[in-house]
Amino acid sequence: MADLYLSAVLLGLGFASLSIGIFISMRIFNIPDITTDGSFTLGGAVTAVMLSNGYNAWLSLPIVFLIGACAGSLTGLIHTRLKVNALLSGILVMTALYSVNLAIMGRSNIPLVNIPSIYNSIQLVSDNLIQELIILSFIVLILWIKISWLLKTDFGLAMRATGNNEVMIRALGVNTKNMKTIGLALANGFTALSGYLITQIQGYADINMGIGIVILGLGSVMIGEIVLKLFHIHSIPIHLLAVIGGSILFRIILAFALSIGIDALYLKLVVSVFVLLIVSIPNLKRTE
Amino acid sequence: MIHFRDISKTFGTGTGNEIRALHPLNLEIKDKEFVVLIGSNGSGKSTVMNLLSGALRPDQGQILVDGQDITTLPEHQRCKYLSRVFQNPLSGTAPELSIEENFRLATIRTQPKGFRIGNNDAFRKTVRERIASLNLGLESKLNQPMGSLSGGQRQALTLLMATMDDSKILLMDEPTAALDPATSKLILDIAEKMVQEMGLTAILITHQMKDVIRYGNRLIQLKEGKVIRDFPKIQKQEIQLNELINWFGD
């Protein structure tokens, strides 16, 4: 039983990177980015192929990130340069990625049995789950520190203003087309990184692992924001922390749903209904 | 110096409702002139402003700033020359960023936005002093999100932000249209003070005839895309309010 919840925390940490990606595209840039479903699988596919071909797991990390960022910048370019609606741009790239991912993997599933991963590269403790927990926490901590810092720099302020008031930031000398493209690249880099972490947790990459994954990120961001609203917090590092916490909480709630006997077949339905609840409850309370 | 040379702009070319916003406009604005631009709706005032800021491109003609041709320069690169205050008091600031963060972006308007944290203690101190000069009591609220302030407060800060980086030209397109009379006066007084203190060249579009008389040192009236009246300071001072209103019947 304890293991069930520990595994949920591990998945939550693994998906935290995805939630941060969604936070960047949706909250910072105000763009609903569906590329996520494809770039998550892309991250998993590249990871599985690299690891099973004997590449070092840590070395693969920046490569996976960069490839995810390429997918995101493609969506960004289609949206800003070809002036295609953001949602449609994402759908186009996501659809194309399905074929790309299949081509990369060569088949629909790659198991990673007895292959060195980041979780067993250095043996810190004997318990495997605790070992994974330490390494995932370390990676998520670095992510949190780096992105908190980025969003406070002049560049980060310009990023945030681009999603917040485009007219103003253009008058202040920012090329918002480039900025949005960079933002989507970052977001999908983090999403691919999430695919990388999850693939190594579950021990395989699957062509369908990304289906509906965008809702997980959305749900995590929103759970975090409900907490923030209660305390009236405006700080960016705490906001990010809430997103990470939301991702973990989301997984724990799913684990709970499974433990009380909900059929795994209905899991996506449960996720949808759950996200609907967290999105709509704050609106119902408002009397307008 | 700003120079519009044979500028023409037509909207909806080729459609049934073609509108010639400017045909051809020639206009020279000297350094440190504070031009008040008036005219009925559709006379081309905002088009002049948008052509200068780069939001619109002319069909023909050239726009020069200090002898440099900026006609085809994209909007985000023109910020080197000019800063803008918008009609909507909420347009000039980012609501979810704090006051301090908004000022940071305004301060590096003409510079690249790099990977360093610029709002340090020294910066905060400068901003606090500048904001205190407005006497609005906002200097203690640097960390508050801009969105928590009123439209008038935000417009006052927008004006101040416009002068944080060295700019030569200040464009104000009906900056007080959405504000009450007292706040309007406050905003325009601040604008006038800044234009004088910093030696800016400014263009103000307004429909408030009292403001036309009170502010600026040159008055230009546009009608159907052409300059029909152009008064320098001396003549502008002699204009009476009732006389001004009659102009719009022409």
Half-sphere exposure of A221 (CA within 13 A, CB side): 18
In chain B, the residue whose alpha carbon lies closest to the alpha carbon of A28 is: B96
Q: What is the dihedral of CA B161, B164, B169, B171, to 10 degrees?
A: 0
Tell me whether B97 touches chain A (CB under 8 Å). yes
Burial classification of residue A122, based on how many CB atoms lie within 10 Å of its CB (0-12 exposed, 13-18 middle, 19 or more buried)? exposed
CB contact under 8 A, B115 and A154: yes
DSSP state of A275: H
CB contact under 8 A, A170 and B75: yes
Going across the sheet that includes B201-205, the strands are: B82-85, B169-173, B201-205, B34-38, B218-223, B226-232
Asked which of A27-41, A223-237, B148-162 is least confident by mean pLDDT, the reply is A223-237
Residue B174: CB atoms within 10 A of its CB come to: 18
From CA B80, how far away is CA B108, in angstroms rounded? 10
Q: In terms of DSSP bridges, do strands B169-173 and B201-205 run parallel, antiparallel, or are they unpaired?
A: parallel
Length of chain B as a residue count? 250
Tell me whether B73 touches chain A (CB under 8 Å). no
State the average pLDDT over residues B162-172: 87
Counting residues of chain A whose pLDDT is more than 70, the rounded percentage is 98
CB contact under 8 A, B91 and A167: yes
pLDDT at B2 over 60: yes
Sequence-ordered alpha helix ranges (H) in A53-175: 57-80, 86-105, 128-150, 154-164, 166-171
In chain B, the residue whose alpha carbon lies closest to the alpha carbon of A163 is: B94
In chain B, the residue whose alpha carbon lies closest to the alpha carbon of A150 is: B115
Residue B219: CB atoms within 10 A of its CB come to: 22
Residues of chain B found within 8 Å of residue A152, distances taken between Cβ atoms: 117
> Pick from A196, A202, A188, A207: which is nearest to A64 by CA?
A196
CB contact under 8 A, A171 and B95: no
pLDDT confidence of residue A287: 59
CB contact under 8 A, A160 and B92: no
DSSP state of B98: B
pLDDT confidence of residue A288: 52
User: What tokens does B193 get?
Assistant: 């003070």
Burial classification of residue A252, based on how many CB atoms lie within 10 Å of its CB (0-12 exposed, 13-18 middle, 19 or more buried)? middle
CB contact under 8 A, A161 and B105: yes
CB contact under 8 A, A175 and B115: no
The answer to whether B101 touches A155, Cβ cutoff 8 Å, is no
State the average pLDDT over residues A235-258: 93
In sequence order, which residues have a C-beta less than 8 Å from that of residue A192 and are 6 or more positions away? A39, A40, A42, A43, A46, A64, A65, A67, A68, A69, A71
State the average pLDDT over residues A117-135: 90
CB contact under 8 A, B110 and A168: no
> Å from A216 to nearest chain B CA?
25
State the average pLDDT over residues A40-49: 98
Helix (H) or strand (E) segment spanning residue B184: helix B181-198
Least CB-CB distance to B113: which of A152, A154, A165?
A: A154
Which range has the top average pLDDT, A63-77, B9-23, B158-172, B214-228? A63-77
CB contact under 8 A, B105 and A170: no
Average pLDDT over chain B reads 89
Residues of chain A found within 8 Å of residue B52, distances taken between Cβ atoms: none
Question: What is the tens place of the pLDDT at every residue in A130-163?
Answer: 999 999 999 999 999 999 999 999 999 999 999 9
Question: What is the tens place of the pLDDT at every residue in A171-194?
Answer: 898 999 999 999 999 999 999 999
From CA B216, how far away is CA B225, in angstroms rounded? 21
The answer to whether B219 touches B36, Cβ cutoff 8 Å, is yes
> Å from A166 to nearest chain B CA?
9
Look at the block and give the residue holding tokens 């004088």. B196
Give the mutation candidate from B80, B99, B103, B105 for the A interface (greatest A CB count, under 10 A).
Answer: B105
Tell me whether A234 touches chain B (CB under 8 Å). yes
Which range has the top average pLDDT, A133-147, B62-76, B134-148? A133-147
Counting residues of chain B whose pLDDT is more than 70, the rounded percentage is 100
Tell me whether B143 touches chain A (CB under 8 Å). yes
In chain B, the residue whose alpha carbon lies closest to the alpha carbon of A234 is: B145
E-strand ranges in B54-109 read: 60-65, 68-69, 82-85
pLDDT confidence of residue A286: 62
State the average pLDDT over residues B74-80: 83
pLDDT confidence of residue A131: 93
Average pLDDT over chain A reads 93
Q: In terms of DSSP bridges, do strands A204-206 and A109-111 run parallel, antiparallel, or are they unpaired?
A: antiparallel
**DSSP per position, A194-258:** HHHHHHHHHTEEETTTTTTHHHHHHHHHHHHHHHHHHHT---HHHHHHHHHHHHHHHHHHHHHHH
Q: In terms of DSSP bridges, do strands B19-29 and B34-38 run parallel, antiparallel, or are they unpaired?
A: unpaired
Residues of chain B found within 8 Å of residue A171, distances taken between Cβ atoms: 53, 75, 79, 83-84, 92
CB contact under 8 A, A234 and B98: yes
Tell me whether B19 touches chain A (CB under 8 Å). no
Residue A50: CB atoms within 10 A of its CB come to: 19
State the average pLDDT over residues A253-282: 87
From CA A97, how far away is CA A40, in angstroms rounded? 10
CB contact under 8 A, A165 and B117: no
Phi and psi dihedrals of A118, rounded to 5? -65, -25
DSSP state of B73: -
Which range has the top average pLDDT, A116-120, A205-209, B79-83, B158-162? A205-209
> Pick from B173, B224, B194: which is nearest to B42 by CA?
B224
CB contact under 8 A, B94 and A168: yes
The answer to whether A36 touches A191, Cβ cutoff 8 Å, is yes
CB contact under 8 A, B109 and A160: no
From CA B78, how far away is CA B72, in angstroms rounded? 10
Which range has the top average pLDDT, A195-209, B82-96, B116-130? A195-209
Burial classification of residue A196, based on how many CB atoms lie within 10 Å of its CB (0-12 exposed, 13-18 middle, 19 or more buried)? buried
